[in-house]
Amino acid sequence: MNKVKCLIIGSGPAGYTAAIYASRANLQPVLIEGPQLGGQLTTTTEVENFPGYPDGVEPFRMMDDMKRQAERFGTKYVSGIVTKVDFSVSPKKVWVEDTEEYEADAVIIATGASAKYLGIESERTYKGRGVSACATCDGFFYRKKTVAVVGGGDTACEEANYLAGLCEKVYMIVRKPYLRASEIMQQRVLNNPKIEVLFEHNTVQLTGEGKVQGADLVYRKGEPDEAMKHIAIDGFFLAIGHHPNTELFKDFIARDAEGYIITEGHSTQCYQMVNGKCTNGKLDGVFAAGDCADPHYRQAIVAAGSGAKAAIEADKYIKSL
Ligand code: NDP
């Protein structure tokens, strides 16, 4: 069994920033890196919107910079996946790969969220080569080009509008005969001359030589008027939702209907669950930062900011013990 003051779960911008602050506060944090070292950001090709990198930065390099910065102040890293937690006791208990047990005065959850993908083979083939799940991150690389956005919710509409400001043309691939998004978002999409909505279409496969150059779609699959359609595109953006990586904590901390961790006001303080119900009581010593608690912004810089907040709050809590 390992006893630590501050345990951080997750190695994205929230986790590493929490580690920088916690280690500079002399909390000697241990950070469990999880299944995707560097987090979601590493699925993108280049980061141009994180302050401090005027020429942009390759995501692995940026995450490595953060990692080394926290290491410099004493953060220890454990590679592995957290498989079980017990937050009903103090100190909190966390198991890595079921075997290695940690006891921590404070735990910072920074497990992020994962974009949903369609699950077709060619999505994997072209990941980072035309396939993206973040228009704000990658849209800039498609200036004056043609792209497609999949989904009919608010995210898809927002992304299609954003991309229409940069691109020559934007297709929206919507599986239903209507958009699910709020009325105002629908109107923006439908009134934008650069956006063409392809209702009742599903993506069969992406095509291209080494990068996305087109998509094969099917219209009204299984219906008498079923038809195939090919569109020429340079980028394919998924906007069919995200799921926060919070399943593991569901018995102990309050989450919203989508699974995002609910925190107190503007803080990162988690709420307690007792017998499957949110008690409105704080769960002392447990904090959540980054996309696992943020259904709105999903930006590295916002996640980093909340990581700093979590570490400051963890420090205050530990000093109160
Ligand atoms: P949603 O779950 O609202 O929408 C997902 C969309 O993707 C739906 O149109 C859905 O189709 C489609 N979809 C899901 N799976 C597939 C699939 N396998 N193939 C094709 N299409 C698929 O997710 P969002 O991310 O858009 O929104 C999440 C929440 O965040 C919502 O509550 C939304 O209102 C909110 N939000 C608010 C914003 C704002 O207010 N500015 C901005 C962004 C999000 P179908 O309709 O057929 O199920």
Structural domain harbouring 171: 117-238
Task: Please indicate, yes or no, whether residues 175 and 204 belong to a single structural domain of this protein.
Answer: yes
Task: Please indicate, yes or no, whether residues 73 and 129 belong to a single structural domain of this protein.
Answer: no
Res. 42: pLDDT tops 80: no
Task: Please indicate, yes or no, whether residues 167 and 229 belong to a single structural domain of this protein.
Answer: yes
Backbone angles phi, psi at 170, to 5 degrees: -130, 125
Which residue's CA lies nearest to atom 38 of ligand 1? 154
Task: Please indicate, yes or no, whether residues 88 and 46 belong to a single structural domain of this protein.
Answer: yes
Mean pLDDT (the chain, rounded): 94
Task: Please indicate, yes or no, whether residues 157 and 137 belong to a single structural domain of this protein.
Answer: yes
What are the CA-CA distances from residue 244 to residues 16, 35, 241 (Å)?
18, 14, 10
Task: Please indicate, yes or no, whether residues 268 and 199 belong to a single structural domain of this protein.
Answer: no
Examine the fold and report which residue of 202, 217, 238 is the final residue of a domain before the chain moves on: 238
Which residue's CA lies nearest to atom 34 of ligand 1? 154
Tell me the pLDDT tens digit for each residue of 281-293.
Answer: 999 999 999 999 9
State which of 180, 189, 256 you would mutate to test the pocket of ligand 1, scoring each by most atoms of that ligand within 8 A of its C-beta: 180
Separation between Cα atoms, residue 239 and residue 191, nearest integer Å: 20
What are the CA-CA distances from residue 102 to residues 90, 115, 272 (Å)?
12, 29, 20
Task: Please indicate, yes or no, whether residues 146 and 213 belong to a single structural domain of this protein.
Answer: yes
Task: Please indicate, yes or no, whether residues 14 and 74 belong to a single structural domain of this protein.
Answer: yes
Separation between Cα atoms, residue 292 and residue 252, nearest integer Å: 15
pLDDT at 278: 77
Catalytic position from the list 105, 138, 234, 315: 138
- Token pair 């919710």: residue: 153
Query: Which of these, 112, 100, 72, lies nearest to 4 by C-alpha position?
Result: 100
Examine the fold and report which residue of 223, 238, 253 is the final residue of a domain before the chain moves on: 238
* CATH number for 106: 3.50.50.60
pLDDT at 43: 65
CA of 259 to the centre of ligand 1 (A): 15
Tell me the pLDDT tens digit for each residue of 137-188.
Answer: 899 999 999 999 999 998 899 999 999 999 999 999 999 999 999 999 999 9
Task: Please indicate, yes or no, whether residues 130 and 108 belong to a single structural domain of this protein.
Answer: no
Examine the fold and report which residue of 238, 259, 286 is the final residue of a domain before the chain moves on: 238
The domain total for the chain is: 2
Decide if 157 contacts 197 (C-beta within 8 A). Answer: no
pLDDT at 274: 80
Task: Please indicate, yes or no, whether residues 129 and 212 belong to a single structural domain of this protein.
Answer: yes
Task: Please indicate, yes or no, whether residues 186 and 292 belong to a single structural domain of this protein.
Answer: no
pLDDT at 44: 66
284's enclosing H/E stretch is strand 277-288
